Amino acid sequence: MIKFVRILEKISDLFGGKLQGILVFGLMVMVMAEVLARYLLNAPLSIAEELGGYILVSVTFMGLGYTWKEKGHVRVELLVNLLPESLRARLRFLTLILAAAFCFPMIAGSWSMLQDSLLFEARSGSWLRTPLVYPQSVLLIGSVLLLIQFTAEIIKAVNRLKDRPGTDKGD
């Protein structure tokens, strides 16, 4: 089971961490090129704003699972830290189940949106006329990546409850 968790976390690392880091670097280069083209050549890149928006959505959604893995989401643990370890572990398991359940409507909504975009051949309003199915697909992929990370966290929480209910082996 630990191997399975490692595989799930490697998926988060690769798609939610490394790939998004590369995209952020690409966004930085694109913005720098936009600034240089605008001020030196007096000819702005007309694709920078649209592609920058798509990259921002990708980094946000596809990074959700990785951010969870790295404990980057906001947490308020003031009351939870007052609970005994065994109760805290059970509460963590319950909240992970609820968080994972939240992913299913996100996945269903993203899938429905993609189907509509394919059906109506939706395109961006810019001169690029980007088929919207491509940038919208990161919503579905990011939601699935978040569910994958929650699955890994649930497995770890179950192992913690099963092995030693009173100890915390790390998240």
Per domain, the residue ranges of the chain are: 2-163
122 touches 116 (CB < 8 A): yes
Residue pLDDT tens, the chain, 171 long:
889 999 999 999 999 999 999 999 999 999 999 999 999 998 888 888 899 999 999 999 999 999 999 988 888 888 888 999 989 999 999 999 999 999 999 999 999 999 999 999 999 988 899 999 999 999 999 999 999 999 999 999 999 998 864 454 455
Angle at alpha carbon of residue 5, lines to 3 and 8, rounded to 5°: 110
pTM for this prediction: 0.86
Specify the pLDDT at position 164.
64
Distance CA(133)–CA(114), nearest Å, equals: 6
The CA distance from 74 to 97, in Å, is: 18
CA distance 81 to 164: 18
Token couple for 157: 């929480």
pLDDT for the residue 165:
47
- Quote the CA–CA distance of 77 and 131 in Å, as a whole number: 43
Nearest to 143 by CA among 116, 117, 106: 106
